[in-house]
Structure 1
Amino acid sequence: MSDNLSLKAFVVLMKSTKSVQEKVKEDISAHGMRISDFTVLEALYHKGRQTIRQISEAVLINTGSITYVIDKLETKGLLERMNCKEDRRVVYIQITEEGKQLMDEIFPEHQQVIENIFSSITDDEKEMLVNVLKKVGQK
């Protein structure tokens, strides 16, 4: 019986993940952005200056692909590279003022979309969901 329940939990998790991803993609696309562009900007917007490796780990995009995304965003003037004075091998990426203004404009709307997705569950249920998903992710 628990095997069937595990399978059911897996299917429900996958379907809900797909549904959430579609809503988020729709929201981000409405702002003329791709998910990868938005997630990189969002990481820099909230965490400040980061190395490419830190960004890659934060947004779960491999370092090869992240370089392409960073190049595109740099060309658009939304972020910039800065060499580390202490270690020439390290390059920091930071959001520009133009990138910050863009995120100031679109992030509150994005946050509202996320709030709407989770509006049917209580705060206690959200905390429980976070804890359960952490357990599943650590397995």
Structure 2
Amino acid sequence: MTTPDTTESQISEQDTTRHFFALLSRFILTLKKDAPGESSLKLHSHLFFILFTLNQADQGMLTLGDLARELDISKQQLTKLVNDLEKRGLAARMRGEENHRKYYLQITEDGRQTLSGMVGSLMEPAERTFSSYTGDEKQELLRSILCLEQFLEDIRTGLANT
């Protein structure tokens, strides 16, 4: 693993953000690869991100309104996507028990398996590469990933406050 040789005084905000967005672009292009097995569900599609978001959610479900906000799509667009996921058996819509006007979307076991297969198509080469790193390189990479997660959260929080 190679990292840029920079000192703190050499790091510019412009260079850092340029590298960050180049990394994001390469990651998005990686997601555009076809996932094995489920050719009609792409890794970069709204359907994938709905399943991924549901899988990360508490109890694997969210209200349709919360999901639309999380994915930054309209409720009308989400309704079409949810219909598609339900037809495929990857998610199920449920009426709220306490408030019957609220609808929730929950990932199904088939949805979890489909998502797992898709994520696995990315994880396998990453795990193979990671296993070739030394212990110190693995620790450095993990620290860097955790910093990137925090950076993304800071960006997201900053955008939400503007």
* Paired-residue identity, %: 21
1: distance between equivalents of 2:129 and 2:95? Answer: 40
Higher RCO (CA 8 Å, separation ≥ 6 residues): 1
Matches within 5 A, 1:17-96: 17-28=24-35, 31-32=38-39, 33-34=41-42, 35-47=45-57, 48-96=60-108
Q: Which runs of 5+ in 2 are unaligned?
A: 1-8
Structure (1/2) with the larger helix percentage: 1
The residue that corresponds to 2:17 in the other structure is 10
Q: Secondary structure at the match of 1:9?
A: helix
The amino acid across from 1:130 in the alignment is E
Name the residue aligned to 1:125: 144
1:50/1:94 contact within 8 Å kept: yes
Structure with higher Rg: it is 2
Cα displacement string for residues 110-130 of structure 1 (whole angstroms, at most 9, x for unaligned residues): 444565798775222222333
How large is the RMSD of aligned CA atoms in angstroms?
3.2
Q: How many residue pairs were aligned?
A: 137
Query: Could you give the per-residue CA deviations for residues 80-123 of structure 1, whole angstroms, max 9, x where no partner exists?
Result: 11111321210011122332332344333344456579877522
**TM-score of the pair, normalised by structure 1:** 0.73
- Aligned 8 A contact 1:24 1:113 in 2: no
| Structure 1 residue 137, shift from structure 2 partner | 4.2
Counterpart-to-counterpart distance in 1, 2:50 and 2:106: 10
Q: What TM-score, normalized by structure 2, do the two folds share?
A: 0.65
Q: Deviations over 1:29-74 (max 9, x none)?
A: 8732132111111222332121112223444444332222112111
